[in-house]
Amino acid sequence: MSLIDRIRPHRRDRTGRSREDYYTASQGQLVWQRFRANRTARAALYVLVFFVLCGIFAPFLSPHDPTAAGRNADYTNGAPQIPQFCDATGCSLRPFIHGVERHRGADTNFRWVTRATDERNYVTFLPRGYEYRLLGVIPMDRHLFGVETGFIHIFGTDAQGKDIFSRTMHAIGVSLAVGSAGVLISFGLALVIGGVAGYFGGWIDTVLQALMDTVKTVPTIPLFMAVAAFIPDTWTAEQRFFFISLVLGLLGWGTLARRIRTHVLAERTADYVLAARMSGAGPGHVIRRHLLPSFTSYIIVDLVISFPYMVLAETSLSFIGLGLKDPVNSLGVMLQNVTRVDVLLNYHWYFIPVPIFVAIVLAFVFVGDGLRDAADPYAEKR
């Protein structure tokens, strides 16, 4: 008997056993079962988990170093190299790509061009490559795939010869990491400020509400321009990463704090809260152990929904040159190149990160919508 059959009263017999299981199931079980019933949200969750794993294991999935140290000087602005099993000379059980060479002659007006050769370069799995630390701890030099000699670029290369596939894998991890850091910062501020404002009320609530409104009315574009002017060029990629995450977190806590304040304000006069206060519990204990757990599901929903906005903010800042910059690979940094005229006309593989970025944002949105619908598991379906 599956859990979903156990918690649906109308699917069981007349003994009342299913109704008892329904009302004794934990909140997490009910939320999960209602979320699973939403096929769109469930599919979006699979897509989101896939991209998260790609970001976490980006060094293993990437055949080449995404920085300038791993560029292919002989294949700049190169088209994607798709592994194949057959060519004009026959077929093979092992996938391969054709080698390339730099050529200049009368047929090219004496310009250097890159052209394919008839030489086969077979694809290998788990080859040795550049060294990295998996999960930031485990030293490794193995990668998922590569070729016997030279390079393979399944997404093509950019103007500097850097592998776009490797850059995209690392960009997914960086953008998700920036979004996660921004969400955690805003979440901590929202819990403290919203909880205090809703619990104490009075002049404290008035002051904190004014602070929330002030943060929400700050003009973001002029602020980001000022921040970009403030960041010195001598800052490392890690310092710039932390600073951008901090700015996004400090600007994104107002809406969540107001929602937490509303819930705490509505629940602070409940019987269980009064009982805890009469037992001698302090304000911090009451808020942390009684009030916040009463609407944990709604907080989780708000967190998931705020993720795509953080990712969009980081991408937008990097896209207009106010956020992360090379050598850091983020989705916003990679999307900077697609606005060039020569890219629009000749190098269409630069657009490959665009649908990936759209898929990540849509996955967050659909998962957030599914959690929002499942956050109240006791509500009857219409």
- Kindly report the CATH number assigned to the domain that includes residue 216: 1.10.3720.10
Tokens representing 215 are 């943060």
pLDDT score of 46 more than 90: yes
pLDDT score of 222 more than 60: yes
pLDDT score of 16 more than 50: no
The more confident residue out of 319 and 42 is: 42
71 domain residue, yes or no: no
Burial letters 282-299, b for 16+ CB under 10 A, else e: eeeebbeebbbeebebbb
Res 54: pLDDT: 92
CA-based nearest residue to 323, from 252, 187, 231, 254: 231
The answer to whether the CB of 338 falls within 8 A of the CB of 351 is yes
Q: What is the pLDDT of residues 112-124, one digit of tens each?
A: 566 667 788 899 9
Q: How confident is the model at residue 13 (pLDDT cuts 50, 70, 90)?
A: very low
The more confident residue out of 312 and 85 is: 85
Query: What value does the mean pLDDT take over residues 207-229?
Result: 79
Res 7: pLDDT: 47
Residue 380 DSSP code: P
Domain identity same for 175 and 324: yes
pLDDT score of 108 more than 60: no
Lowest mean pLDDT among 173-182, 348-357, 373-382: 373-382
Res 105: pLDDT: 61
Domain identity same for 105 and 220: no
296 domain residue, yes or no: yes
Res 151: pLDDT: 87
Domain identity same for 148 and 259: no
Domain identity same for 131 and 242: no
Q: Which of 165-169, 299-303, 337-341, 360-364 has the highest mean pLDDT?
A: 165-169
Domain identity same for 171 and 133: no
The more confident residue out of 359 and 227 is: 359
75 domain residue, yes or no: no
The more confident residue out of 236 and 261 is: 261
Domain count for the chain = 2
Lowest mean pLDDT among 24-28, 176-180, 209-213: 24-28
210 domain residue, yes or no: yes
Res 17: pLDDT: 45
pTM of the model: 0.77
Q: What is the pLDDT of residues 149-192, one digit of tens each?
A: 888 889 988 888 889 999 999 888 888 887 777 788 888 888 88
41 domain residue, yes or no: no
Boundary (domain end) residue, out of 152, 186, 206: 152
d(CA 88, CA 83): 14
127 domain residue, yes or no: yes
Q: What is the pLDDT of residues 244-295, one digit of tens each?
A: 777 777 877 887 888 888 888 888 888 888 888 888 888 878 877 777 777 7
d(CA 247, CA 227): 9
pLDDT score of 73 more than 50: yes
Domain identity same for 188 and 308: yes
Domain identity same for 222 and 357: yes
Q: In terms of DSSP bridges, do strands 145-147 and 128-134 run parallel, antiparallel, or are they unpaired?
A: unpaired
Q: How confident is the model at residue 57 (pLDDT cuts 50, 70, 90)?
A: very high
Mean pLDDT of the chain: 78
Domain identity same for 256 and 181: yes
160 domain residue, yes or no: no
Res 377: pLDDT: 53
What's CA 268's distance to the chain center, in Å? 35
Residue labelled with tokens 């002017």? 229
Domain identity same for 112 and 173: no
Domain identity same for 319 and 240: yes
144 domain residue, yes or no: yes
Domain interval for residue 148: 81-152
Domain identity same for 356 and 235: yes
Domain identity same for 321 and 368: yes
* End-to-end Cα distance, the chain: 26
